[in-house]
Structure 1
Amino acid sequence: MTGRDRLRELLDAVLDEDNRTLEEMAGDAYASPHHFSRLLSRHAGEAPVAMRRRVMLERAAWQLRQGSSVTDVAWAAGYESLEGFSRAFTRAYGRAPSTVDATTGHWLPAPNGIHFHPPMSLWVHSTEHVMDPLTEQLVAHHLDDTRYLLEAAKGLTAEQFRASLLPGLVVLPWDGPEESLQAVLDHLVHTLEIWLASIEGRDVPTRDDDPGPARLLERHDEVAPRWLAAVRDIDRRGGWDDRLIDALCEPPESFVLSSVVAHVLTYSAHRRHLARHLLRATGREVDTGDPIDWLRARRGETRGGPPC
């Protein structure tokens, strides 16, 4: 069997309707899960679970364009709940599945140009521009990790959420004190909102006076896919060195777009670890926020040990 035929066999195993897990895919290709994952990642530049999830979402977008119901599409894509599908779709496409229309494209960014092609085939786009994997992972990890922390905070009492546990703490002078978990998480979300408003040329976004975890999660789920789409667009058009004239500042200021994204990632990483510290202070158990573990989970890989 040629290498090309073997790759086709691996791809067929990924997309088979009956193969929902890495073990099922590998079994269909007569390989161990580890060997199967390693082969596909090497030849296609994408782990099998991540590829299947992306291609199934692309198929879902196409089916929605044809008039299928969100419920039917979610079930066909392998999601156990409508909420889980809607969240994944919104994060990927920047819009809810219920808003898809005939103008919505169904391709998502792919490291290999491999996409769903109706009715159930693959299309390889050889000239596709793909964002640098490191940038994509840094931005996506930040968004997913922030959502994880907001979910963890939902189990706290109002008193725990608002308690001043870090008196006098100021992360950035113009943002003011961030002494409570509420303040830290609110700044995590609002940072995305305010910078995205500047990039998109929108008015200053409305900010809640006393948001709870559920409200912050709602705001995050609205802004996160738009932020990821904005970063992808900057990269696609080679706009990293472009300058943003921010009219929301008084007086207006000029910012290089690459420095804006770096600013968001730098201070957001700090705030995410502050949030972990505050959550642990309330007795909540949270993970380390390690992007290594995040990427492994995203790709459906098992967790490894510490570096030797």
Structure 2
Amino acid sequence: MQDYFGEIAGVLTAVFWTVTSMAFESAGKKVGSLAVNLIRLVMAFFFIGAYSWIARGFFFPSDASLFQWQWLALSGLVGFVIGDLLLFQAFVVVGARISMLIMALAPPFAALVGWLLLGEVLDSQSWLGMAVTMVGIVIVILKRERSTQNGSIVRKLTSSYSVPGILLALGGAIGQATGLVLSKKGMGEYDAFSASQIRVLAGIAGFSILFIFMKRWPWVWTALKHGSAMKRITLGAFFGPFLGVSFSLLAVQHTSAGIAATLMAITPVLIIAPSVIIFKEKVNWKEILGAVVTVAGVAMFFL
């Protein structure tokens, strides 16, 4: 079992992200995605601090080197502030299920960023995997529309979902992929939970500055008074930036980044059942096929 610790951590990350994406979708629709982003990071900071104090004797990651602080903080700004800001708004616009499906592009994006920043080489199978992943997403988000113009039937491809929502999720995938590569560069053998805390702290600082310029602090106070939303934010904070992000770093530490990213990318399949049961969403065969093809493409990318 110890030999597969990284793989198990990757699967658990996908489960945690399934829970947190649905919790944040619900909370974001009640109080707005911006407030949810900041509140959940503050909660996560204390969750991680309490765990680290018990496990390592450090509430605050004061034992991290300057190199680790620099790269992990940059990772937090890119992954949390940019990536999650776009992703959480996508939750509100197109829902968690479609957003997380598009997030399946994060592993290929991570490989591309790794190639650019770390010199990692992509082979032909990797490019094929990216193509299959794109096909799976296209199956879901595009539809053929039939209309009549000047007495003749015209067929054209249109988006099944909000184009701005899809672009938001795509931006989230790029942000999180870049954040993962930056965190791997900065973390090394350092404790994954404490590394997550540095990322979270950078995210809190970034959102705080953003809130000052946008004058959105009243939104936070309103959200804090919303009991139903706060329950969902607390649940999402526990399973997301506390467990989810920390276990993703554990997965990267204990197995190859490719295998870890592949296992994390099964979220689009895991989220189908709870979306139907909890949010009463209607899922057709095309969307199920697209989700399966997308995950198959990600798996192919890293086999």
Structure number with the bigger relative contact order (C-alpha 8 A, sep ≥ 6) is 2
- Which structure carries more helix by proportion? 2
Q: TM-score, normalised by structure 2?
A: 0.27
TM-score under structure 1 length normalisation: 0.27
Q: Which has the larger radius of gyration?
A: 1
